[in-house]
Amino acid sequence: MATIQHILLCLWFLFAAIPQFLPTWAQMDTYIIHMDLASMPKAFSSHQSWYLTTLESISDATSEATIDFPPSSKLLYTYTNALHGFSAILSPSELRAMKDSPGFVSAIKDKSVKMDTTHSSKFLGLNSKYGAWPNSDYGKDVIIGLVDSGVWPESKSYSDDGMTEIPSRWKGQCESGT
């Protein structure tokens, strides 16, 4: 009987403590943080270590009642090509502290987007027997200048297998990682 009372008492304390953390959990969002790499102190061996230290310092600076997540679990991804920065899960007070950090450029709230399709011809209503699709030779030699869908370049959707050579009329150049 004493064991059941002990368990019930522990459960009561557990459930009594949860409400103080719920507002913080509910307010945490994912942000893409753009940083100025030229502002990285020379003491850091890599931009990743700079980002982790920055996250650690803003977590220490915010003294609200939160469950402490280690900075490494808040850091979701680091960006090195199109921009320098990282994505992280931050509370509103951590975001305010981040904005005062050296090298901070901007913060954009990350939002989930639904991919419409990987089958563009079907999505656009193109018919394979008549109309624009067969008249354009099914897109043969079409040059796409920029595709920004959030899908990784390594995705099978972007595989070059079965593609023809680059058309001779192409006057530009392909630049990797830009």
Supply the pLDDT for residue 21: 52
Task: For residue 23, name the pLDDT band (cuts at 50, 70, 90).
Answer: very low
Distance CA 143, CA 9 (A): 68
CATH level 2 (architecture), domain 2-109: 2-Layer Sandwich (3.30)
Average pLDDT over the chain, rounded to whole?
A: 77
- Show me where the domains of the chain are located: 2-109, 113-171
Give pTM, 2 decimals: 0.51
Strand partners, 71: none
pLDDT tens digits, residue range 117-141? Answer: 666 667 677 777 877 778 778 777 7
Task: For residue 178, name the pLDDT band (cuts at 50, 70, 90).
Answer: low
Distance CA 104, CA 56 (A): 15
* Biggest CA-to-CA distance, the chain: 85
Report phi then psi at 75, rounded to 5. Answer: -80, 115
| pLDDT of 148 above 70 | no
pLDDT tens digits, residue range 38-94? Answer: 999 999 999 999 999 999 888 766 655 455 566 667 889 999 888 899 999 998 989
Residue position matching structure tokens 């982790």: 52
